[in-house]
Chains A and B, each alone.
Chain A
Amino acid sequence: MDEVLVRTLADIVKVGAPIVLAAIGETITERSGVVNLSLDGSLVLSALAAFVAGISTDSVIIGILAGVSVGLAIALVVAVCSIELKLSQVAVGFVLTLLCRDLALFLGIPYRNAQVFPTTFLPIPVLKDIPVLGAIFFNQDLFTYLSFIAVIAAWWWLFRTKPGLTLRAVGERPQTAFARGVNVNALRYLYTAIGGGLVGLGGAAYTLGVLPTWSDTGVAGNGWIALAIVIFGGWYPLRVALGVYLVAGLRAIVTSVQAQVPPQVVELLNALPWLLMLLTLFIVSGPYLDRLLRVLPPRLHPLIRTVLRARPPSALGTIFEQEGRR
C-alpha cells in the first residue's frame, strides 16, 4: 500500500485520538440519560490542567491524572445540578462550557507557547512491523492506544455485558430499570463521572500528546465537534469512532491540498464535515428508516438499527423521579 497513504491514515488516527476519547466519554454519559454540554470547555480546561501538571512534575501520569480529575469534576457538577437540583442539563452544561473555556484561556496565559512536553511516542516492538496495520495501529503514542482501548471497551461494555444492558435501559426508560431493581441515579452519577473522566483524558491527549504545547486555539472547538459526532454516530461507540476518523480524514485532505488551492476554498472545504453530517442526519431521520425496517426480516433489525439509526436514548436529558416516594 502506498507509503503516503499509510502515513496519512496513521496521522488521522493519532490526531483523532483526543476527540475519540471525548466523544466516547460523552457517548457513555448520554447513554445513561445525561447530556454533558460542557464538553468543549471541559476539554480545554482539562487540557490545561494536564499540561500544567505534566510540565511541573515532568510526569505523564500526573498530567493524565490532573486532566481526568478536572473532566470528572466538571461532569459531576452537571450531574449534581441535574439530579439533586433538578436543573436543566442543557442550561448548566452550556454555562459551564463557556465558563471553563474562559477559565482555561485566562489561567493559561503564562503557559502560552512556553514549553513543549516530551513525547509519549510508544511504538510496540514486534507488531509495528506488520505491513500497513502495524504502522497505523501499533506505531503510535500512548494516547492513541488509549483511544483504541476506549472505543473497544465502550462497545464491549454496552453491548456484550449485563451492566451495559442495564446502562442502556437506564438511558431509554429509567422507570423500567428502576422496576428491575436498578438504582437509576447512582448509575447516572457513575457513568457521568466515567464519561467526564474520558473527556479529561482527551484533554490530556491534546497537550501531552498531539500538540503538545499550550496554545489558545488548538483545542477549543473540538468539544463541539465531539458532541456532534456522538449524535451523528447514533450513540454507538464504533460508529462514533468512525465519525471522528471521517472528520479527521476530511481535515487531512484539506491540509494536503492547502498549498494548491486558494485560501477561500480551503475555508469552505473545512465546512464539509458539518454539511455532510447535516445531510446524512436529514436523510436518515425517522420515516425512511422505519419504512426500511418494515420490509426487512426481524433477524436483521438489530444490525440495520445499529448501522443507520440516529435516535437518542429516549430518556436523554430527563429527570428521573420515583413515584410516590419522598
Chain B
Amino acid sequence: MGRLARWRGAALTFSAALIAALTLIAVIMLSLDKAPLAAAQRFIEGAIGTPSARADVVMAALPMLLCAAGLLLTFTAGLWNIGVEGQVTMGAIFATIIARTIPRDVSDWGIFAALIVPTELLLAMLGGALWAGAAALLKIRGGINEIFGGVALNFFSVNILLSLVNGPWRVGTFPQTAPFAPAALLPRQPELRLSPLGIGIALAAFGAVFMALRSTRFGLQLRAIGRNARSAGILGVRVERNIFWAMVICGALAGLAGAFQALFTRGRLLPNISGGVGFMGVLIVLLTGVRAAWVLPVTLFFAVVPIGSLKLATSLDSAVQIDATLGNVFQGALVLAVLIGSGVRARLAARRERRSEHG
C-alpha cells in the first residue's frame, strides 16, 4: 500500500472518528436540552477566539506534549508506561521541594535568582526519572508487569503527595502549599499567560525525542525491541539497558510536565496536581498510532478541549452551559473511535487481500 494511500486511509479514519465522537457529544447535549451548534460556536470562540485563550491552549498543551514525547519512547519499545501519572506527580513534588522555600523578595540573590527555575526543573526531572526507574527495575529484576508496577507506583505517589500537603507542607486550612513566590514560578510574559521558556523547553524535548527516534541508534534499538525483543538481543541490542533508559527518560520528561503543572498551571502544590496530563499523553500517543510526526498537532487539538470546555462550563447562557467533564468524554470517545476505525480498516484490507489471493 503506497504512502499516499495510507495517508488517505488514516485521514479518513480520523474524520470518521471525529464525526462519531462529535455526534455522541451532540446527542448527550440534546438529551440535556442544550444547543449543540451554539455550544460548538461558543466553544471555538472561547478556545481560540482571543489571544489570551490561545495562550491558555498553548500552555495547557505543554505538559501533555512533554508526557506524550516521553511516552513515544516507551511505546516504541513496546512498553505500557501507565505509571506516567505518578512520574508527573513526583516531578511536581520534587520541584516543590525548592519552590516552597523561595521567598517573595529575591532582589538580593543576584545571580542565584536565575538558578532557581533551572534547579527546580532539574529536580523535577530527577523525581520523575526515579519513579520511572523504579517501575523499570521492578519489571527487569522482579518480573513485575510494568502496568501493575505503574499503577501501584501511581497510587503510592498520590499517597506521598497527600501526606505532604496534609502535613508538613500544608499552609492554611486546605491541603495545599502556599502559592509559590513569583521567582519560583516559570517566568511568564506580563500581558499574556504565556511562558516562552516553557514553550522552548517543551518543543526542545519533543524535538529531541523526534530526532532520537528517527536518527539515533537508541531510537532504532527501541524500535527493534518493540517489534521483537529476542531477535533484537541476538542482533546485539542490549534489551534491558535500553528499556531502562527509555523508561527513565520518559519519567524525566513526565517529571518536567509535573514541574510545569506546579510552577505554572496551578502555582502551588495541591492534590491531583497531575491533572491527568500523563494519561492524556497516553491517549495522544494511542491516537497517533505511535507516530511522532502527528503528536504535535494532536496535542494542540487535545489542549483545545479543556480550555473550550471550561468556557462552556462558566458560560452564563443556560443553553450552552455544560460541565467541563464532557470535554474529557469527547477525548476518550475520539481515541476509542480512532482505534476501532483503524481495526475495521485493517480487517477490511485483510479481507480484500484474501479475496485477491483466492481469485
Contacts and interface: CB of A to CB of B under 8 A. Distances in A.
Interface in B333-348: 333, 335-336, 339-340, 342-344, 346-347
Interface residues of B, number: 47
A52 B316 CA distance: 28
Contact of B332 (A102, A109, A326): A102
A7 interface: no
Interface stretch (A145-153, A182-190, A199-207, A268-276): A268-276
A277 B152 CA distance: 9
A3 interface: no
A99 B329 contact: yes
A95 B329 contact: no
Interface string A78-103: 00010011110011101110110011
B164 interface: yes
Interface string A184-223: 0000000000000000000000000000000000000100
Contacts of A91: 286, 339
Contact of B163 (A105, A227, A267, A285): A267
B326 A106 contact: yes
A320 interface: no
Contacts of A81: 339-340, 343
A285 B282 CA distance: 28
Contacts of B314: none
Contacts of A103: 329, 332
A302 interface: no
A266 B165 CA distance: 12
B52 interface: no
Given A81-B339, A105-B325, A270-B159, A95 B151 contact: no
Interface stretch (A12-20, A26-34, A130-138, A257-265): A257-265
Interface stretch (B142-150, B198-206, B223-231, B294-302): B142-150
Contacts of A271: 155-156, 159-160
A99 B80 contact: no
Interface in A17-45: 37
Contacts of B163: 263-268
Nearest to B328: A102
Contact of A87 (B145, B323, B332, B339): B339
Interface of A: 37, 81, 84-87, 90-92, 94-96, 98-99, 102-103, 105-106, 109, 221, 224, 227-228, 231, 262-268, 270-271, 274-275, 277-278, 281-282, 285-286, 312, 326
30 contacts: A84-B343, A91-B339, A92-B336, A94-B82, A95-B286, A95-B335, A95-B336, A96-B332, A99-B333, A221-B155, A227-B148, A231-B148, A265-B163, A266-B163, A266-B166, A267-B166, A268-B159, A268-B163, A270-B159, A271-B156, A271-B159, A274-B153, A274-B159, A275-B156, A277-B152, A278-B138, A281-B148, A282-B138, A282-B142, A282-B144
Given A95-B339, A224-B155, A228-B152, 10 more contacts: A87-B340, A90-B147, A96-B336, A106-B325, A231-B148, A264-B166, A267-B166, A274-B152, A274-B159, A285-B144
